[in-house]
Structure formats: structure tokens, C-alpha cells
């Protein structure tokens, strides 16, 4: 099939047979039990499926199977928030306390600097890995936000990008207060129903109506086993991580954004200006490799493919991984849902081929240290870095570095401590900001199959941070 040039929609032809065979081959190669792929190309949605939903039952994946989307849910929440901003019910640049008067954080002086815009772009300073089961009641989100008040900030609001699930739960609570609905019901009434997304949902009992994927866990190189539980997330995780959908429905959601906020039946979900605002750069991302994004908009991760701009989001749940990429120049959207194995490698190889052939763009090469690593003195970087739920210990001498990433408190059962060797990648100095990048080896399936980026950065005020998975951990005194 010939490749096309960006912007040339009329010549886009999707060879279903060929891509089905490619999905089958790559899924098997990377040990992924089951996967579903949806591609919007040439104005049509193409849906493919491969493998099994559960290796123990052998039930096959079909295009109408639903998977957990993990953090892709954040874009759905962002869309709800932008509807409220568009209608004038919400000021993006006003403090969160204007809507949630009782909202507070551990640093009382910082609360006034936490705005809706900053939460959408992960620059509000709120941390990520605060997990709390506040029950199944309709008040679960209100109780979560109240409980998060004592959780320390990752960094001062507006100073750096630090990926925050807590921030998106605060946004979800704002949606509840302004609509008078639970977040689940607001999503259904204001987004899913207007778009006709009949196989998108938020609650486990809703998923029981459909063929639902089971997550699988295991070490690389071995066949993954079904996870001990279908879902570890409480209901309160909804705004940041609890949307379930078919890959096709994910692409249909993305199509609304490509179509300037218009639903297929002509219903306007967002204004074109709001859609454009969501994918406008709000913050640079020091970690440009974890999700291959070099910046963040209002909900979307932003991608630069050799000058061609795109956007998307990644997500992870219990052994399930989802990926969404959109190229507005060509009207292309690709969604992949998986249930375990080396899903990151499947995504990288498959999307690299799809984006090249269907949009004429090239994804960056996989993150790895250079053949000859630069000499970096780790003395000033050694120490302990902490954020809610995580302690990172860094040691180094004679050019060799080592990292221990340990989950603590409410996250202590998430994974055993992760140990990795640090290989220097680069060091850049810009004014008072110093950024040093390392590649961590031997991390394992919890983070990365190959090399994990570890970024040490110094903010303008001289404070030092270690960024892993786009989460900033300040250095302990």
C-alpha cells in the first residue's frame, strides 16, 4: 500500500486484511494475550481484533470487546471541564477554591495558585499516586478530594509539569458540583450519549453486559497469567482512570475532536475554538520519552513527529494498556487496547508503521542511551527524592549510578522495590535550569521493557527534582 503525504485524505486506503495480519503477528511476537485496534482513516472507522480476552477461558477478542482505558479517561474528564468553561460556568484561570471553597492542600499558601488550567495541564503541583477507596456511594469523589487535602505537593503550582491523577479527581469533583450530577452520570449525559458511544462506560456492572477483557500480568519473556483481580481501582478513580470502551468507541470520541467538536448526527459537543484550545501547548514536558510527548495541552499529550503535530494519551490499568494517537493534518486517529504482555513494544512497532504509512509521519526512535554515554558527575544528584507514595534513592560514584524506586504508604502493595543502573544520556544547561537525563536499565514490566528515562532537573529557584514517568519528586533536604 502506498504511503500518503500529510493532508492528503482522498488517497487514504486502509488494507484491512494486511493490517489484521500485522496485528496478529505483532501481538504474538510481544506476548500480548489480546488486542483490539481501531483506525479512523479516509473518514471511515476500521476495527480489528486479535487474541483472547482471558487466557484461562480462551474467549476471543472481538471488535465489540471492552477494555479498561486507564488514564485515557483523563481526556474524557478534560472534555467535560471544557464544556463548562465554554458555557461560562467555569473560569479556567480562577483558583479551584472558587468552585470548591473547602478545597485545600498540605501547603495552605499554595492553594490559591492551583487553577483549573493548571490541573488540566498537570502544572498544578498536585501529586499523582494517592490511592484511596472511598466506597461505592455517589459521594465517593467528594470524600476522595477531602481526604487528599493533607497529601504533600510534588512542586509549587505553576513551576513544573508533574503528572497528576489527584488533579483530575479534583476536576471530576468540579464537574459534579457544577452539573449537579455524579461524574459518571455527567459523562454519560453530556458526552457518551450525544456521541452515540454505546460501548463506553465507567462502572463494572455496566461492563458485564459486554465481552470484557481481563488483564494479564507476568515477567517479560514469559506468557502472562490472568491478574488476580479484574480491577484494582475504586469508583473514586473514575475521572483519572476508570473509563471502559471498545477501541472503536475511543476513535469515535477522538473523531469528535477532529471534527471541531461536532457529533456524527450534527450535535455540537464543543465549539471549534475550544477543541483547538485543548491541544494548544500549555507546558513543556522534561520527560519526552515515557509517552513520547514533548508537551501538554488542556488534557491532551502533545507530540511532534518531525514537524508534524499530533496529540493523544496513554493509559494503564490492572494488566491492561491503551494508546490513542491523533494526526489532525490527515484526519487520522488510532486507538489500541490490550490486556497484558509487552504491550508497549506492540504499540511502538504497530503505531510506528501505521503513522508512517497512513499519515507520512515518523515516530521518534525508542529511548536508549547513546553508544558512548557522556561523562556525568552524579555527586550532586545523589540523595533521596520523595513524593506521595514513592521514595527514590539515588547513589553514584566514579561515573556509575544506581536507583531504587520504592512504593510506600498507600502504594506499598503496588510493586516490589525497583532497582536499576543509571546510564547517562545527556546534560543541558539553560540559564539557571540544569537538566540531566539518564537511562535506567533492568526496570521490568512495571514501567518499561527496555530503558526507562530518569530526568534530574533544577528549577529556577534552585530546587532539585527527579522525574520518572513524568512525575516530579523533590529532593529531600
User: Are 129 and 154 contacting, i.e. CB atoms less than 8 angstroms apart?
Assistant: no
Contact 246, 431 (CB under 8 A): no
Contact call for residues 458 and 433 (beta carbons, < 8 A): yes
Q: Which residues contact 324 (CB under 8 A, 6 or more apart)?
A: 72, 75, 250, 251, 254, 312, 313, 314, 333, 334, 335
SS3 290: coil
First to last CA, the chain: 58
Catalytic member of 71, 164, 290, 292: 71
Check if 71 is active-site: yes
For residue 304, how many other CB atoms are within 10 A of its CB?
16
Residues whose CB falls within 8 Å of the CB of residue 390, separated by 6 or more in sequence, listed in order: 129, 405, 406, 407, 408, 411, 471, 473
Alpha-carbon gap, residue 392 to 443, rounded angstroms: 13
Q: How many CA atoms lie within 13 A of 421 on its CB side?
A: 7
Helix ranges (DSSP H) in 320-399: 343-359
CA atoms within a 13 Å half-sphere pointing along the CA-CB vector of 97: 13
Task: Provide the b/e sequence for 434-453 (b: ≥16 CB within 10 Å).
Answer: bebbbbbbebebebbbbbbb
Sign of CA dihedral 314, 317, 318, 322: negative
Spatial CB neighbours of 3, under 8 Å, sequence gap ≥ 6: 356, 357, 358, 360
CB count within 10 Å of CB 228 equals 10
Chain centroid to Cα 241, Å, comes to: 9
Please list the active-site residues: 71
Amino acid at each position: 500500500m502506498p504511503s500518503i503525504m500529510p493532508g492528503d485524505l482522498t488517497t487514504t486506503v486502509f488494507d484491512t486484511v494486511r493490517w489484521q495480519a500485522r496485528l496478529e503477528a505483532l501481538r504474538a511476537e510481544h506476548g500480548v494475550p489480546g488486542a483490539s485496534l481501531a483506525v479512523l482513516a479516509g473518514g471511515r472507522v476500521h476495527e480489528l481484533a486479535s487474541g483472547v480476552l482471558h487466557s484461562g477461558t480462551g474467549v476471543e477478542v472481538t471488535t465489540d470487546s471492552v477494555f479498561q482505558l486507564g488514564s485515557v479517561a483523563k481526556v474524557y474528564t478534560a472534555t467535560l471541564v471544557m464544556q463548562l468553561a465554554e458555557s461560562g460556568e467555569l473560569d479556567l484561570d480562577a483558583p479551584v477554591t472558587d468552585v470548591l471553597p473547602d478545597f485545600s492542600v498540605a501547603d495552605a499558601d499554595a492553594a490559591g495558585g492551583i487553577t483549573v488550567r493548571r490541573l488540566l495541564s498537570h502544572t498544578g503541583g498536585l501529586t499523582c499516586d494517592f490511592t484511596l477507596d472511598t466506597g461505592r456511594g455517589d459521594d465517593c469523589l467528594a470524600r476522595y478530594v477531602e481526604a487528599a487535602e493533607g497529601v504533600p505537593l510534588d512542586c509549587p503550582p505553576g513551576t513544573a509539569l508533574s503528572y497528576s491523577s489527584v488533579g483530575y479527581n479534583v476536576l471530576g469533583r468540579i464537574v459534579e458540583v457544577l452539573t449537579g450530577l455524579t461524574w459518571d452520570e455527567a459523562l454519560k449525559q453530556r458526552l457518551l450519549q450525544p456521541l452515540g458511544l454505546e460501548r463506553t462506560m465507567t462502572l463494572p456492572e455496566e461492563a458485564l453486559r459486554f465481552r470484557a477483557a481481563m488483564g494479564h500480568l507476568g515477567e517479560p519473556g514469559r506468557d502472562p497469567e490472568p491478574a488476580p483481580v479484574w480491577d484494582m481501582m475504586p469508583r473514586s478513580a473514575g475521572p483519572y482512570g476508570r473509563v471502559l470502551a471498545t477501541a472503536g468507541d475511543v476513535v469515535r470520541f477522538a473523531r469528535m475532536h477532529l471534527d471541531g467538536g461536532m457529533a456524527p448526527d450534527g450535535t455540537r459537543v464543543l465549539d471549534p475554538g475550544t477543541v483547538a484550545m485543548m491541544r494548544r501547548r500549555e507546558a513543556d514536558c522534561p520527560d519526552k520519552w515515557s509517552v513520547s510527548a514533548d508537551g501538554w495541552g488542556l488534557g491532551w499529550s502533545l507530540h511532534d513527529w518531525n514537524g508534524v503535530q499530533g496529540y493523544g494519551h496513554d493509559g494503564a490499568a490492572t494488566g491492561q494498556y491503551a494508546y490513542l494517537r491523533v494526526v489532525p493534518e490527515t484526519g487520522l486517529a488510532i486507538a489500541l487496547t490490550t490486556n497484558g504482555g509487552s504491550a508497549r513494544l506492540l504499540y511502538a512497532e504497530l503505531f510506528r508503521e501505521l503513522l508512517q504509512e497512513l499519515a507520512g509521519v515518523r515516530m521518534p526512535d525508542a529511548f536508549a542511551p547513546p553508544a558512548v554515554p557522556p561523562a556525568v558527575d552524579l555527586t550532586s544528584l545523589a540523595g533521596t527524592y520523595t513524593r506521595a507514595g514513592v521514595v527514590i534513592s539515588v547513589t553514584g560514584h566514579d561515573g556509575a549510578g544506581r536507583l531504587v524506586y520504592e512504593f510506600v504508604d498507600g502504594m506499598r502493595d503496588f510493586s516490589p522495590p525497583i532497582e536499576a543502573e543509571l546510564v547517562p544520556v545527556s546534560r543541558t544547561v539553560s540559564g539557571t535550569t540544569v537538566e540531566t537525563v539518564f537511562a535506567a536499565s533492568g526496570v521490568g514490566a512495571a514501567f518499561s521493557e527496555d530503558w526507562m528515562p530518569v530526568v534530574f532537573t533544577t528549577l529556577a529557584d534552585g530546587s532539585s527534582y527527579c522525574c520518572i514517568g513524568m512525575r516530579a519528586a523533590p529532593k529531600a533536604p
